[in-house]
């Protein structure tokens, strides 16, 4: 087990080094050198130029090639190199990794009440208004719209925390004196990496501001979700979802780091810029960093990507990093941002719906879902009558005009999304659309064209009516906002699923949070759909994606950090994970969108976040620098590399003398991707509740696996805050290639510390004979 996972890692690792493409054209590469030495930053930059001089004949060329010198929070640089130069540098003493600066993509409020964080609780001070004042949340995104009500209102906030060293940087349409206040305490932007990749910003024709100002909306939305102030009178066009908007930690401070630029209808974020933002943010004094961006698999090794390197140094400095899991679901193993030192967030639904009545000309009526703000009664036609191939896809040119008509489209014809279909109907001059899709994927969004979403059963009945009526008509009524729709939550079909394709023994995603139809702040100069021809202006907008669930967790982390300033990022993540829940409003297991089956940890991680319970988890699985050293040993790093990566401490043994496995990382989940025979996994719990406590273990075995926990009782005293337990996991079936799920629960009667257990028994080939094939095995 140990050996094979090690081998895998070494393999991945050497692949990354030798697969630097052999194209002669220069690209931006990032050269990572480990922690910074606390030297004078100028000296550090000088040393970076010296390293570069090894692959350039003159110092002036080396200086010209340098894009960034990272020198505050870790050491490294970004430079324009050809592949030969990159390979030469990667073989130099002192260099930990060299990787191409990739372009990452953005993962494109009722939610707080749904999670039990009510503002009007009647108690003295609701949790959300009690904590957060002393924490700065860094948002790495498309920038910020400082005039939004979420950031304008800093009334009631104390002075900016004294240790804050960040800056509010002047730029295009961004005057620090007007933009920054006690809420928005920092704003920086990073464009050098972007411009090396895509050319000068002003030549992209995107209208982007050369400043931290948000051109498109994504960054404003995520920042206001994480830490926006309380803002009354929020709501979408026509007041949908209306009410009091606020972020997870309405008293926490926001620092915007603009690393993503909107060009060709996409948010593009280069790794050279992201590294620069990490370098600054960690020095500035952020407490939490929220990143709703990533890159679809294949994933790169942990130290060959900016986000993992940045998060690693953040963890060592006590800064929690929260990522979105990606929107590539529901297929397995496409989860992104899987580093063990950060939190990876899946997206779920909440109990809010937007029922929209549809009445056909024959008086039969249905209830769909939509954001309809103007009633309409018109002729109804089927997309098959308009488009060549019968599907409402943008490429099939309209055969006839749909002027003054409402068009029925099916996602199943041509596999179109509602956005694509809306554009097609718009091109045919249709006035509105009824979009019929499988109920496993049904997600409403604003598609510019008024759209009502119905399921396939409803859509089929509407089609029958169109085909039988001579002159079909339909009345679409106004959408309502309804609270309490059930069951909720479910995991959104688009939310990326585990297991991790690069380190399957570390459970990812870690946790789920609301990410469907989230209402948050929006720049009035960007349209709600971000489409260039959409001329509407809104101050609040609905968005769906793991981009939206990630800042929910970032806000909750800020609350926990404020309430428990000494907890490490790993302890905070443990609190989130061990208190997360798996049941929905109907007391059944939460459903996984995309399949309509009960969730497992690869859909939802440890469960759906429960912020109130996470404040008081009882016990936590902490991870300290020693643990990370052992983990780095398990990945095959050498002592000299590890010494450069972890902050120096005399008490830490970096020699890697032992047999280490990534299974031993003190993670709040146990995932065994390859169980051949019995193995024992160790975990350590720290008591953060009452000093004297008795915890008892109970186990739910995965099918075909026996998990024995010892000792079965943990007794914590004021002198014994930390206790270790072991789990011996034994296969009791012959199997291959399937995961089974269970859990270990520690309880003192009040706290329930739940640890998911995911095991893939893989012993068929070992067993050898035909007798042990899966179809003939005896069930346990
Ligand atoms: C890479 O750049 C170096 C320095 O400019 C140059 O000597 C070398 O020929 C280049 N290699 C390739 C493959 O272009
Ligand atoms: C873009 O900006 C650069 C300098 O910032 C300027 O020299 C150039 O003329 C500008 N180009 C356009 C198309 O505005
Ligand atoms: C501004 O924030 C304060 C404190 O959170 C809140 O009481 C007040 O209602 C907010 N003002 C507006 C206009 O939303
Ligand atoms: C839609 O309307 C535009 C402008 O009136 C017209 O040019 C175009 O031909 C129409 N398209 C269809 C398919 O009716
Ligand atoms: C079809 O219905 C529409 C709207 O009710 C009406 O304006 C139109 O005259 C009708 N056409 C025919 C052929 O009945
Ligand atoms: C590590 O494991 C291998 C194979 O299981 C064994 O031969 C070796 O002695 C072990 N080394 C140490 C230091 O425990």
Chain centre to alpha carbon of residue 750: 31
State the closest ligand 2 atom to the C-alpha of 200, by its place in the atom list counted from 1: 1
Please name the residue whose Cα sits nearest to atom 1 of ligand 5. Answer: 471
Q: Answer whether 27-100 and 618-623+665-762 agree in fold.
A: no
Please indicate whether residue 202, judged by its CB atom, sits closer than 6 Å to ligand 2.
yes
Please indicate whether residue 518, judged by its CB atom, sits closer than 6 Å to ligand 4.
no
State the closest ligand 2 atom to the C-alpha of 210, by its place in the atom list counted from 1: 5
CA atoms of 450 and 458, how far apart (whole Å) = 18
Ligand 5 centroid distance, CA of 365 (Å): 20
CATH number of 355-480: 3.50.30.30
- Percentage helix, strand, coil for the chain under 3-state DSSP, each rounded to 5: 25, 30, 45
3-state secondary structure of 522: coil
Please indicate whether residue 245, judged by its CB atom, sits closer than 6 Å to ligand 4.
no
Out of 27, 97, 101, 141, the active site residue is 141
Please confirm, yes or no, whether 547 is among the known catalytic residues: yes
Residue 616 vs residues 360, 488, 572, 579, 687: alpha-carbon distances, Å? 53, 24, 10, 9, 11
CA atoms of 22 and 559, how far apart (whole Å) = 48
**Closest to 370 in 3D by CA, of 446, 482, 474, 462:** 446
Residue 657: CA atoms inside 13 Å, Cβ hemisphere, count? Answer: 3
State the closest ligand 5 atom to the C-alpha of 361, by its place in the atom list counted from 1: 5
**Closest to 579 in 3D by CA, of 551, 553, 602:** 553
DSSP assignments along 78-107, one per residue: EEEE-HHHHHHHHTSTT--EEEE-PEEEE-
Instruction: Out of 2.40.50.140, 3.40.50.1220, 3.40.50.2300, 3.40.50.200, select the CATH number for domain 111-120+128-351+490-592.
Output: 3.40.50.200
CB contact set of 128 (below 8 Å; sequence gap of 6+): 112, 117, 119, 246, 248, 249, 250, 251, 559
Predicted pLDDT at 13: 28
Predicted pLDDT at 20: 39
Structure tokens at 81: 């190199």
Nearest ligand (C-alpha, residue 234):
3
Please indicate whether residue 239, judged by its CB atom, sits closer than 6 Å to ligand 2.
no
CB contact set of 674 (below 8 Å; sequence gap of 6+): 1, 4, 5, 504, 760, 762
Please indicate whether residue 577, judged by its CB atom, sits closer than 6 Å to ligand 4.
no
Which backbone phi and psi does 335 adopt, to 5 degrees?
Answer: -65, 145
Predicted pLDDT at 442: 73
CATH class assigned to 618-623+665-762: mainly beta
Q: What angle do the packed helices 218-227 and 546-563 form, to 10 degrees?
A: 30
Please indicate whether residue 203, judged by its CB atom, sits closer than 6 Å to ligand 2.
yes
Please indicate whether residue 172, judged by its CB atom, sits closer than 6 Å to ligand 2.
no
Ligand 4 pocket test target in 424, 429, 430, 431 with most atoms within 8 Å of CB: 429
Ligand 4 centroid distance, CA of 467 (Å): 25
Q: What angle do the packed helices 2-18 and 625-634 form, to 10 degrees?
A: 80
Structure tokens at 691: 């000093």
Out of 27, 48, 218, 552, the active site residue is 218
Please name the residue whose Cα sits nearest to atom 10 of ligand 6. Answer: 659
CA atoms of 323 and 328, how far apart (whole Å) = 14
Q: Cβ distance 515 to 348 under 8 Å?
A: yes
Mean pLDDT by 10 residues, the chain (780 residues): 28 31 73 85 89 95 96 95 95 94 79 61 69 94 97 93 96 97 98 93 85 95 96 84 90 97 86 98 98 94 94 96 94 96 96 94 95 94 87 79 94 82 90 90 80 95 94 95 89 94 96 94 90 87 93 97 97 98 94 90 98 97 91 89 86 85 94 96 97 97 97 97 98 93 98 98 68 37
State the closest ligand 6 atom to the C-alpha of 657, by its place in the atom list counted from 1: 13
Please confirm, yes or no, whether 218 is among the known catalytic residues: yes
Please indicate whether residue 430, judged by its CB atom, sits closer than 6 Å to ligand 4.
no
Please indicate whether residue 398, judged by its CB atom, sits closer than 6 Å to ligand 4.
yes
Ligand 5 centroid distance, CA of 366 (Å): 22
DSSP assignments along 329-356, one per residue: TTSTT------TTSEEEEEE--SEE-EE
Please confirm, yes or no, whether 446 is among the known catalytic residues: no
Out of 5, 16, 339, 547, the active site residue is 547
Nearest ligand (C-alpha, residue 430):
4
Structure tokens at 270: 């280069």
Other Cβ atoms closer than 10 A to 460:
13
Please indicate whether residue 724, judged by its CB atom, sits closer than 6 Å to ligand 4.
no
Please indicate whether residue 4, judged by its CB atom, sits closer than 6 Å to ligand 6.
no
Q: What is the pTM of this model?
A: 0.91
What length is written for the chain? 780
Q: How does DSSP classify residue 226? A: H
Ligand 1 centroid distance, CA of 27 (Å): 12
Other Cβ atoms closer than 10 A to 19:
8
CB contact set of 445 (below 8 Å; sequence gap of 6+): 418, 419, 517, 542, 544
Instruction: Out of 3.40.50.300, 3.40.30.10, 3.30.70.1340, 3.30.70.80, select the CATH number for domain 27-100.
Output: 3.30.70.80
- Ligand 1 first shell, C-beta below 6 A: 24, 56, 82, 84-85
Please name the residue whose Cα sits nearest to atom 5 of ligand 3. Answer: 230
Ligand 1 centroid distance, CA of 85 (Å): 7
Nearest ligand (C-alpha, residue 361):
5
Ligand 4 centroid distance, CA of 373 (Å): 25
How is the chain split into domains, by residue range? Answer: 27-100, 111-120+128-351+490-592, 355-480, 618-623+665-762
Chain centre to alpha carbon of residue 587: 27
Residue 692 vs residues 565, 617, 689, 710: alpha-carbon distances, Å? 22, 15, 8, 20
Predicted pLDDT at 317: 95
Ligand 1 pocket test target in 24, 56, 81 with most atoms within 8 Å of CB: 24
Nearest ligand (C-alpha, residue 660):
6
Please indicate whether residue 730, judged by its CB atom, sits closer than 6 Å to ligand 4.
no
């Amino acid at each position: 087990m140990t050996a094979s996972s090690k081998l895998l890692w070494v393999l991945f690792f050497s692949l990354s080094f030798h697969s630097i493409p052999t194209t002669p054209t220069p690209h931006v590469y990032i050269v990572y050198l480990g922690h910074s030495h606390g030297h004078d930053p100028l000296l550090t930059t000088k040393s970076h130029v010296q390293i570069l001089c090894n692959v350039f004949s003159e110092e002036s060329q080396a200086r010209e090639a340098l894009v960034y010198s990272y020198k505050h929070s870790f050491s490294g640089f970004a430079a324009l190199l050809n592949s030969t130069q990159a390979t030469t540098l990667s073989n130099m003493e002192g260099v930990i990794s060299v990787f191409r600066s990739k372009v990452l993509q953005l993962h494109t409020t009722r939610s707080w009440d749904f999670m039990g964080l009510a503002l009007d609780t009647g108690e003295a001070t609701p949790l959300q208004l009690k904590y957060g004042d002393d924490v700065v949340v860094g948002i790495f995104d498309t920038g910020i719209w400082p005039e939004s009500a979420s950031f304008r209102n800093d009334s009631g906030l104390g002075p900016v925390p004294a240790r804050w060293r960040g800056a509010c940087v002047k730029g295009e349409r961004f005057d620090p004196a007007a933009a920054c206040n006690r809420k928005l305490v920092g704003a920086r932007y990073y464009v050098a990496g972007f411009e090396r990749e895509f050319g000068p910003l002003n030549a992209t024709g995107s209208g982007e501001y050369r400043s931290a100002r948000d051109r498109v909306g994504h960054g404003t939305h995520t920042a206001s979700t994480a830490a926006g102030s309380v803002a009354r009178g929020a709501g979408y066009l026509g007041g949908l979802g209306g009410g009091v908007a606020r972020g997870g930690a309405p008293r926490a401070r926001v620092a915007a780091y603009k690393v993503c630029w909107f060009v060709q209808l996409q948010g593009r974020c280069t790794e050279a810029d992201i590294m620069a933002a990490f370098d600054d943010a960690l020095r500035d004094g952020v407490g939490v960093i929220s990143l709703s961006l990533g890159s679809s698999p294949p994933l790169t090794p942990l130290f060959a990507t900016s986000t993992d390197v940045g998060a690693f140094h953040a963890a060592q400095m006590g800064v929690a990093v929260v990522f979105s899991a990606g929107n590539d679901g529901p297929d397995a193993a496409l989860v992104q941002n899987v580093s063990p030192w950060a939190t990876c967030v899946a997206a779920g639904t909440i109990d809010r719906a937007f029922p929209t009545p549809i009445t056909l000309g024959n008086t039969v009526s249905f209830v769909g879902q939509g954001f309809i703000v103007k009633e309409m009664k018109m002729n109804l036609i089927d997309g098959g009558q308009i488009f060549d191939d019968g599907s409402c896809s943008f490429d099939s040119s309209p055969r006839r005009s749909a002027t003054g008509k409402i068009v029925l489209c099916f996602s199943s014809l041509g596999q179109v999304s509602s956005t694509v279909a809306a554009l097609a109907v718009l091109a045919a001059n249709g006035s509105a659309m009824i979009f019929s899709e499988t109920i496993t994927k049904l997600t409403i969004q604003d598609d510019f064209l008024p759209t009502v979403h119905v399921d396939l059963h409803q859509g089929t009945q509407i089609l029958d009516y169109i085909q039988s009526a001579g002159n079909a008509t339909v009345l679409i009524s106004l959408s309502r906002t309804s609270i309490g729709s059930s069951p909720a939550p479910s995991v959104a079909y688009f939310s990326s699923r585990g297991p991790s394709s690069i380190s399957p023994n570390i459970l990812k995603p870690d946790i789920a949070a609301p990410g469907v139809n989230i209402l948050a702040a929006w720049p009035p100069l960007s349209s709600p759909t971000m489409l260039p021809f959409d001329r509407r202006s809104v101050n609040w907008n609905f968005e769906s994606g793991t981009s939206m669930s990630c800042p929910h967790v970032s806000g909750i982390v800020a609350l926990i950090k404020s309430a428990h300033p000494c907890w490490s990022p790993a302890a905070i993540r443990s609190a989130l994970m061990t208190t997360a829940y798996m049941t929905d409003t109907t007391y059944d297991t939460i459903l996984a969108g995309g399949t309509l089956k009960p969730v497992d940890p690869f859909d939802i991680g440890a469960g759906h976040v429960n912020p109130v319970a996470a404040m008081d988890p009882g016990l936590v699985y902490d991870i300290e620098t020693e643990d990370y050293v052992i983990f780095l040993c398990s990945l095959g790093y050498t002592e000299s590399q590890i010494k450069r990566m972890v902050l120096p401490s005399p008490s830490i043994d970096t020699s890697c003398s032992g047999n280490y496995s990534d299974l031993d990382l003190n993670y709040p989940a146990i995932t065994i991707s390859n169980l051949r025979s019995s193995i024992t996994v160790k975990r350590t719990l720290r008591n953060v509740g009452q000093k004297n406590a008795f915890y008892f273990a109970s186990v739910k075995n995965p099918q075909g696996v026996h998990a024995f926990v010892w000792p079965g009782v943990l007794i914590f005293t004021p002198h014994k805050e930390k206790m270790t337990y072991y789990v011996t996991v034994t296969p009791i079936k012959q199997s291959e290639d399937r995961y089974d799920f269970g859990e270990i629960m520690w309880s003192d009667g009040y706290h329930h510390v739940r640890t998911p257990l995911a095991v893939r028994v893989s012993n068929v080939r070992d067993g050898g004979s035909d007798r042990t094939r899966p179809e003939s095995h005896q069930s346990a």
